[in-house]
A = this chain, B = another copy of it.
Amino acid sequence: MTRLSHSRERMEKVPTQTFFNLPEEKRERIIRAAIDEFADNSFHQASIAKIIEQAGISRGSFYQYFSDIKDLYKFIFEKSGQEKMVYIYDVVSKMNELNTFVIMKELYKAGIRFANDHPKLALLGNKLYKEDISVRNEVMAGLEEKSYQFYEDLLQKGIEKGDVDPGVDITIASRLFLTMNLAVVENFLTNSKHDHFLDDIEGYLQEVDKMLYILEHGLKKKDYE
């Protein structure tokens, strides 16, 4: 209790307490408007003007909740991360038992399911990974390194389990893995927009299998002569 009252410090929270005191409907409206804006625009193209316009709040109010658009971006990105966790939690929890390549496949699949259910969040996240390092550092606040670390651990465990070739450079492989994951989601998002609406994403998952086949076996022809 004393704890709690102490937590109301002079340091402002990053979305302000005021923001969380808001009636849920209004708060949701702001969040939705922000997601739309960040899904459609790069960090620098996104504007407070458009967000408050769509959310139907005044400029003055915006600054009562966030100190600038970067704070809002951070908040939305974190929320997105939490939502994505829901999709990959099951896979992560089985990381020690399953074969490394099965894990990888499940991670890719989870990523696609997330993108299917929350296309705007996926879009927004992918956009962020394409931003300059300076923007990424400001908004993701070290989350990127965490991703790499996660994949490095996965591969390291894979070597210990005997699944993964000990000859591969783990740092490089994890970069490759993350990059490929982004490309896979990106590809899914563009295809599901333009082409036929794949209501079942199973068809698309076959594409992922082909991708993983390459990642697992390489491009070289096996069993000569």
Residues of A within 8 A of B (CB): 42, 44-45, 101, 130, 132-133, 155, 158-159, 162-169, 172-173, 175-176, 179-180, 183, 187, 190, 207, 210-211, 213-222
Contact = CB atoms under 8 A, between A and B. Distances in A.
Nearest to A225: B162
A216 B211 CA distance: 14
B183 A221 contact: no
A225 to B, nearest CB: 9
A185 to B, nearest CB: 13
Contact of A165 (B133, B173, B211, B219): B219
A218 B217 CA distance: 4
A163 B207 contact: no
A210 B169 contact: yes
Helix, strand, loop or mixed for chain A's interface?
Answer: helix
Copy total for this chain: 2
A211 B163 contact: no
- Sorted nearest first, the 3 A-B pairs with minimum C-beta distance are A218-B218, A169-B210, A130-B130
Contacts of A45: 44
Nearest to A217: B218
Nearest to A101: B220
Contact of A218 (B155, B175, B214): B214
Contact of A168 (B168, B173, B190, B214): B214
Given A164-B220, A217-B218, A218-B215, A183 B190 contact: no
Contacts of A219: 101, 155, 158, 164-165, 168, 173, 215-216
A44 to B, nearest CB: 5
Contacts of A162: 221
B218 A216 contact: yes
Contacts of A210: 168-169, 172
Contact of A222 (B42, B165, B180, B215): B165
A172 B214 CA distance: 9
Given A133-B190, A207-B172, A214-B172, A164 B221 contact: yes
Contacts of A179: 179-180, 183
15 contacts: A42-B42, A162-B221, A164-B219, A164-B220, A165-B220, A165-B221, A166-B221, A167-B213, A168-B213, A176-B180, A215-B218, A215-B219, A216-B218, A217-B218, A218-B218
